[in-house]
Structure 1
């Protein structure tokens, strides 16, 4: 019997849904690069249900308990007396999401003597100390591509919200007003602007494809250059360094993984390379951006706006300075956890667990760490090291 500890975000404030806005959730038949959607042997949930919060349990309880395993589901993940820390010593598997991450630090891994598998229900496993996982021969897996397109859609939404000044305009209506001049005084057309993405992997490339019809100039920075045919198809300009990219861009979107090499890549120095009045969108990881430098750039006007769907730590303390910074379109980490995406990542977690328990190979594209080294998507996207430092500050969310 294996103990499985699953850390998920809290249920809706108004209670778990008894019905939903839609009766179906259309799904793609295949991902753009040819990868198939998750293929578990079965699922024990209805597609479109809320699976990512505590009551949803990722649809795993029936499967696990019918096979003799123990499932502990909690949202309590931070602080000295968290349920996660109490259950860790004899846990064999830990599952969490990027939106409400169980920060698997080296200290936690050291206490989890029976831990064999860490699964990310989604994409992005930087909340695990990958170096510690490597040294302790723990497998780390994530459901690659399950919510990449969902995040890309959120990027485009965020760009338009910033450039067209949508949120302040909407707030005018909520406040009973009709102040058109106030609404449009910071509103521009996206057409003819230059848009640059930091990383052009699954999410970044999808963003570029979605933006092409808007008549913008498209730029990208990536350590893996795209094929010439793709560059010509989308009329892309390649940049080999951040300074070159941001100097030309009216909008910069971050779509790269977090690891020691990318931590705080947007900082006081690099923000000075940006065009005055440009926009920054970040749906990747909060720790890519220096917290206080970003606030300064928004206050000075160096940046005209910031749309961030990601924070560090998560959840952020209630006095986190981004909450009160000017000209932002910040959201809790929702871009990759739409009900459509939850159907895919819950099925992907089930597929990973089926493979693990049946001692079959986990899909290579799902692997981040295996056999004491980076593997699969991890070898392509990550660097050995630790990006969890400072995560203990998440405990301040409840105390604030």
Structure 2
């Protein structure tokens, strides 16, 4: 059986001994699959060369961080494919409906990086509110303008933080923010029980109310038709003036140009996250140079610890599939009906 893993390139693996999810290490699956008589092809290609590799492959492994945009046309070309695994969380780069129509199961490693992303949310909230990036840049530039740095630096304590989505990542983000003595609102498709709300320190709010009253908005929902371009110009204009947005969910949840214009005008005091659209982000992406940004590349869920969890989960999924056993339900994103 042929397994194709599309992972990010690593030009200097000797410097990165703990990076498992690169096209060099291949999640350390090579020997494991070879011992079982299977072929693992490692690549960073995402264009026509990948289509050639997939013509006789039965398994595709991709990631949210170096994604294969697996649409209906590409799926139709991969006529032998039976399983598409996202090494991480979030499979919106795969057309799940088209995959199911072609008999392909889509799976991901549920829960593998929720701790890492939740911690990154708190990191970027603080980076924005405390105006960390401009102050840090003064160090490299040889400057020492305390007035300039402190003009837009604030305490997080006493602020209202709105969390959109309160699943595994949103919930852990709330737990980590409790110690900052903030008021936390949340909006989600399914409301938590009163006991859960008390444990997390959150209060349910309608989306419009959350946006109108929150000083910080943290996005923790998957990319769906309902959340795509959720933060467009109109919605950003409805927010509290001078609010901050942190979006480690998916870049396409925000309209790139609308966010940039709001940061330039001051309607937003800042925007941070690590998710972009498309990915990798082109050099001229408007978020790279907009003011008041604390963006990073998409790495929040790829801590050393998360990569171990991801590798273990991918191996579990593969072993079950190769043994003819069903993939655990909590890993399944979409599957053909039996």
Specify the alignment match of 2:34 in structure 1: 65
Compared CA separation, residues 224 and 3, structure 1 to 2 (3 A): same
Q: TM-score, normalised to structure 2's length? A: 0.97
Distance 2:322 2:124 in 1: 40
Q: CA RMSD in A?
A: 1.3
1:189 aligns with 2:155: yes
1:86 shift after superposition? 1.7
Specify the alignment match of 2:60 in structure 1: 94
1:323 aligns with 2:288: yes
Distance 1:351 1:17 in 2: 27
1:344-385 deviation digits (Å, cap 9, x = unpaired): 101110000001011122111111111249xxxxxxxxxxxx
Q: TM-score, normalised to structure 1's length? A: 0.82
Q: In the alignment, is the contact (CA less than 8 A) between 2:51 and 2:78 conserved in 1?
A: no
SS at 1:94 equivalent: strand
1:187 shift after superposition? 0.3
Q: Which has the higher relative contact order, 1 or 2, with Cα contacts under 8 A spaced 6 or more apart?
A: 1
List runs of 5+ in structure 1 lacking aligned partners.
21-48, 374-400
Task: Specify which of 151, 166, 178 is matched with residue 144 of structure 2.
Answer: 178
SS at 2:14 equivalent: coil
SS at 2:204 equivalent: strand
Matches within 5 A, 1:98-117: 98-117=64-83
1:105-133 deviation digits (Å, cap 9, x = unpaired): 11100111001000000000101001101
Deviating beyond 4 angstroms after TM superposition, the runs of 4 or more aligned structure 1 residues are: none
Distance 2:81 2:256 in 1: 33
How many residues are matched? 338
1:55 aligns with 2:24: yes
SS at 2:238 equivalent: coil
Q: In the alignment, is the contact (CA less than 8 A) between 1:117 and 1:140 conserved in 2?
A: yes
Q: In the alignment, is the contact (CA less than 8 A) between 1:64 and 1:70 conserved in 2?
A: yes
Task: Specify which of 132, 144, 147 is matched with residue 166 of structure 1.
Answer: 132
Q: In the alignment, is the contact (CA less than 8 A) between 2:101 and 2:336 conserved in 1?
A: no
List runs of 5+ in structure 2 lacking aligned partners.
none
SS at 1:90 equivalent: coil
1:275 aligns with 2:240: yes
